[in-house]
Amino acid sequence: MTMDRVSSGASYSPARRWLHWGMAAFFLAVLCAVEFKDDLPKGHLRHIAMSIHTQLGIGILLLAIPRIALRIRAGRGKEGMRQVWQERAAAVAHGLFYVVMVAMPVLGILAIQTREHEVRFLGMLLPNYFDDDAWLPYALPIKTAHEFIGDAVIGLIGVHWAAVFWHQFIQRDDVLARMRVGN
């Protein structure tokens, strides 16, 4: 098997580490909010849970902007010794995460707006270009896509954690240590 040797031991930049863990916290919180919402009876508390879900989702989109910019500017991190299949799998998984960071919030906003509801972020009204009945037939397919990707994200997070455990306990490299905040 072909293996690529890349210098190990270099930590990710503090900005990349903070954005990574901030994004992880937002993903966890947005998933918890939507799952918690489903257990609530219709009414005020359910509306609050959905509002929290929406605010966090838009927060993910806003965090994605500097995260993607840093990724483009700095490139991929130095990963140590990996087999080619691991490099490819990591590239695909990370690429999917970046797509999800943008697609999920955008689809969520569109799902709300095509049903002729307004979306606010921290009290500010977002522009709505879909506020007439003509867009109503697209509301359900957009919402379905948003929910499908949300379910897929849970699997993607599982794959990400499996890779973390692989690196930590099987390969015994320093990938996890280099992602710690405070390095």
Token pair, residue 2, equals 């072909």
Determine phi and psi for 168, rounding to 5 degrees. Answer: -70, -45
Q: What is the mean pLDDT of residues 67-84?
A: 77
Sequence-distant (≥ 6) Cβ neighbours of residue 126 within 8 angstroms: 109, 113, 118, 119, 120
Pick from 29, 31, 102, 91: which is nearest to 64 by CA?
A: 102
Q: What is the mean pLDDT of residues 139-151?
A: 95
Q: What is the mean pLDDT of residues 134-159?
A: 94
Q: What pLDDT, on a 0 to 100 scale, did the predictor assign at position 181? A: 80
Pick from 141, 146, 121, 140: which is nearest to 51 by CA?
A: 121
Q: Answer yes or no: is pLDDT of 4 > 90.
A: no
Predicted confidence band of residue 75 (pLDDT cuts 50, 70, 90) = confident
CATH annotation of 12-179: 1.20.950
